[in-house]
A and B are shown apart, each in its own frame.
Chain A
Amino acid sequence: MQVQVKLYGTLGKRVPGYDHRTGLAVDVDEGATVADLMRRIGVPLKKVGMVTLDGRLAGKETLLQAGMQVKVFHPIFGG
């Protein structure tokens, strides 16, 4: 199955050829988790602050579904 992935902050630099306008279409196995996806695209989990799947916050072990929009964010700090 395939999911659509967008990487935010400076995470895109970790994936060669990443274009933020189009994002990535990534093939994953049935039953793949968020952590599996991060391994597949080469983004270390410790560099990730949060992930949303179709606009909902996900955990590392949350299961992916075909066609999901995945947004991957860096840790944030602010004000």
Chain B
Amino acid sequence: MKVINVDLTTKTIRTVNLPSAYEGLGGRALTSNYINDNVPADCDPLGPKNLLIFAPGFFSGTPLVNTSRLSVGAKSPLTGGIKESNVGGTVAAALANLGISALVVEGQASAGESWLIKIDADGQAELIDGADCRGMRTYGLVEKLLAVYGPKNSVTCIGPAGENLMSAASIQTTDLDSHPCRAAGRGGLGAVMGSKGLKALIVSRSGKAADPLADPDAFKAAAKAYAQAVKADEFSGEILPELGSACLVEAINAVGAFPTRNAREGQFEKADQISGETMAGIIRERGGKTTHKGCAQCIIDCSNEYVDPQGKYVTSSLEYETIWSMGGMIGNGDLDAIARLDFLCDDIGLDTISTGVAIGVAMDAGYQSFGDAQAAIAMVEEVAAGTDFGKILGHGPAAVGKHFNHDRVPVMKGQSMAAYDPRAIQGMAVTYATSPMGGDHTAGWVVDQNLEDFGGTLDRFSAEGQVEASRNTQIHMAAVDSVGICDFAQSGLAAEGGMENVYRMVAAKSGKPFGEDDWQGLGLRVLKAERAFNRRAGFTPADDHLPPMFYEEPLPPHNKVVVISAEELENTFDF
């Protein structure tokens, strides 16, 4: 339970015990409370007063499956508010196995400097001059660093987009194959890392000093039952291993909620060319991997390895959100081009969602044509090259809209929505509008309530029940992101007795009683901290609205608009 503070202004490192105020917190609960307590909300997100904090989930480093989840927190240059960006891979398990609850990066190196933080198998951190890494793309960088420091390390890094302080820059981290293909994509935290002068974090994967469990037997018994539930569930046990999250393409498209050509339509006529079913067939034919383990301690294997016709690696993992943002959203039905764009974003260090939507906005404004995949590839390359247009695109959809004086920009608090159009699934309007993160699907995914069991327990075109569903899911997800359970392993929570199992594990790790009220309290504590920060940063109730396009433009084929009133959105949270 230690915190490593690295000051890049003074080039000093301090290791302290986790302050008692944060005892029992991990992941998003730790990053968001730490940022709220320690970052001046009015600071320049790319200045020395911002902090960048990396925190594994509370369960990372325990025997529980699917818990290598890392929360990265800071004030976001994209939204101007607080940000928690969540990522898998190996780094969370690596940090937790070294007994590290958080790494806090503060200060700022001089312009032009590039630094590496290396944490060895004993948990000792050192700063290393990384001048020879400056400007490198992530795949080449990881190869170089692992050749020097050994393969048994996890690398978390930025590419040229982060170094160039682009607001859509991601932080990339390595999977089990040491590919930097896992992204803390949202919120432009790659630019915060770049502003500090930090190029990469190298963490030993050989740690054996995970925090002790207060009651190991109770923990292991609950963890075993949890894992069995994840395996037994059809979605996490069968569909995700075979198709990955891309299984959602046809389903969401079929119900007219797949934003197409910058959300002018809700169905893409080429969805079958980019579906999970088609992707799995292509991968199998070419000798790639459909069932692939991307993250430490994963038992779902939702990842994949997409290969070219010669069987050569193109990217990992091709997922639903990217297939949408680089596919339907830009009118592109070429899966090979989507895979190339996914790789380029990972290599340059860009959020695939923000980048795809930014391209969609540019195409909507008449800059290149919808469906021109080669133009999209050239546009992404421009970000790495730092051309005038690349510098606009790299700042995300709102910057592109401003440049072209184009108002069809599907962003909330400056961050683009994801692959569910809120006009066809009203509950997502509430989540996109009110999440302290800005447009974000994982913050409160209420798609199942709107579609499950032959059409949903909620009427997806009606406002009724949507605010409550989103509020409850947002509170729940804030807790999930804090304990560090993978979103796709939530089948373990949904199973009979699943939540009680989780409460038991929190109690068995901490040694303190934990129940349903504590779970709610954890989620609320996170959201309260995030909303408090955002208020101090200048956000008002009007920032919990959607852009006019969602109220004014009916979405084909159902021709609906968002019907949830501004007042209802503003009252989603009463704190």
A residues contacting B by CB (< 8 A) are: 8-10, 20, 34, 47-52, 55, 57-60, 71, 73-79
Contact = CB atoms under 8 A, between A and B. Distances in A.
Interface stretch (B171-179, B181-189, B235-243, B540-548): B235-243
Contact of A74 (B235, B281, B441, B447): B235
30 contacts: A8-B247, A9-B242, A9-B247, A10-B234, A20-B281, A34-B454, A48-B454, A49-B251, A49-B453, A50-B251, A50-B254, A50-B452, A50-B454, A50-B455, A52-B254, A55-B267, A58-B454, A59-B454, A71-B250, A71-B254, A74-B235, A74-B239, A76-B235, A76-B251, A77-B448, A77-B488, A78-B245, A78-B248, A79-B487, A79-B488
A9 to B, nearest CB: 5
B418 to A, nearest CB: 9
Contact of A73 (B254, B487, B490, B491): B254
Contacts of A34: 454
Contacts of A78: 245, 248, 320, 445, 447-448, 487-488
Contact of B239 (A9, A48, A52, A71): A9
- 6 residue pairs, one from A and one from B, having the closest CB atoms: A79-B487, A79-B442, A52-B254, A73-B251, A9-B239, A57-B455
A10 B454 contact: no
Interface in B481-540: 487-488, 490-491
B256 interface: yes
B255 interface: yes
Interface of B: 234-236, 238-239, 242-243, 245, 247-248, 250-251, 254-256, 267, 275-277, 281, 320, 441-442, 445, 447-448, 451-455, 487-488, 490-491, 557
B247 A76 contact: yes
Contacts of A55: 254, 256, 267, 557
A48 B441 CA distance: 24
Given A74-B234, A77-B448, A51 B248 contact: no
- Decide if the interface of chain B is mainly helix, strand, loop or mixed: helix
A30 to B, nearest CB: 22
Given A8-B247, A10-B242, A20-B277, A75 B254 contact: no
Nearest to B86: A79
Contacts of A8: 247, 250-251, 275, 277
A79 B267 CA distance: 19
Contacts of B254: 50, 52, 55, 71, 73
Given A8-B247, A52-B254, A76-B448, 9 more contacts: A8-B277, A9-B242, A52-B255, A55-B254, A57-B255, A74-B247, A75-B452, A79-B441, A79-B487
A79 B275 CA distance: 16
A79 B240 CA distance: 12
Nearest to B236: A77
A15 B557 CA distance: 31
Contacts of B251: 8, 49-50, 73, 76
B543 to A, nearest CB: 23
B532 to A, nearest CB: 26
A46 to B, nearest CB: 10
Contact of B455 (A9, A59, A76, A77): A59
B238 A76 contact: no
